[in-house]
Copies of this chain bind each other. A is one copy, B any other.
Amino acid sequence: MDRLLDAGARAFADKGFHATTTRDIASRAGLSPAGVYVHFASKEALLHALSLAGHEAALDLVSRALTEPPTPTLRLTRLMSDFAAWHAEHHEVARVVQYEFPHLSPGHYAEVVALRRELHAKVQAVVEDGVTGGEFVVDDVRETVLALLSLCIDVARWYSPRGRLTASDIGSRYASLGLRLLGADRRVPGS
């Protein structure tokens, strides 16, 4: 079960949902071609289980980052750091979460889209807090939220474990970039 989820994540991340055969997944999990259907009714059901678990993990991470630190600046710093690092550290699941979920069945797709909207809304609320309190200075809140999440999400596209940067490196870099997008670092002008 866990073995199949892991095999599915690696296969889908590597080749995409439709290019992955059930034989490939079974093989990665050390099972026979029919082994997938013992635990999942279909290939789509496996994608659904992966997408749901991945989105819930991401939403948990984001919720904690946005509530535990005491100020909007510290909350967004933590968000960018943890969310960017998550896309690197769990880049297989992250790729499924960000790029394969459109291949879900219509019902499962709608379910996942609701989780994604929830995540956006949580981030937007904290950015609005920061703007209201004067910690952030932005042209447009929605565009800024989109850009912040865009940066983190795109990590799943370009990240390679054989690259120059660790997940933790990426986290601290992206926290700094996020503060720039938020206009939260104006107290330390460069040059």
Tell me the A residues contacting B by CB distance below 8 Å. Answer: 15-19, 98-99, 103, 134, 137, 139-140, 143-144, 146-147, 150-151, 153-155, 157-158, 165, 173-174, 176-177, 180-181, 183, 186, 189-191
The residue that A147 contacts in the complex, of B98, B151, B157, with Cβ under 8 A, is: B151
Whether B154 contacts A19 by the Cβ 8 Å rule is no
Whether A191 contacts B181 by the Cβ 8 Å rule is no
Whether A147 contacts B191 by the Cβ 8 Å rule is no
Bound together, the chains give a CA A137 to CA B191 distance in angstroms of 8
Whether B150 contacts A154 by the Cβ 8 Å rule is yes
Quick one: which of A18, A153, A157, A180 has the most chain B CB within 10 A? Answer: A180
Bound together, the chains give a CA A98 to CA B158 distance in angstroms of 10
The residue that A16 contacts in the complex, of B18, B139, B150, B151, with Cβ under 8 A, is: B18
Whether A150 contacts B158 by the Cβ 8 Å rule is yes
Whether B103 contacts A16 by the Cβ 8 Å rule is yes
Q: Which residues from chain B contact A174 at a C-beta distance below 8 Å?
A: 147
Whether A190 contacts B180 by the Cβ 8 Å rule is no
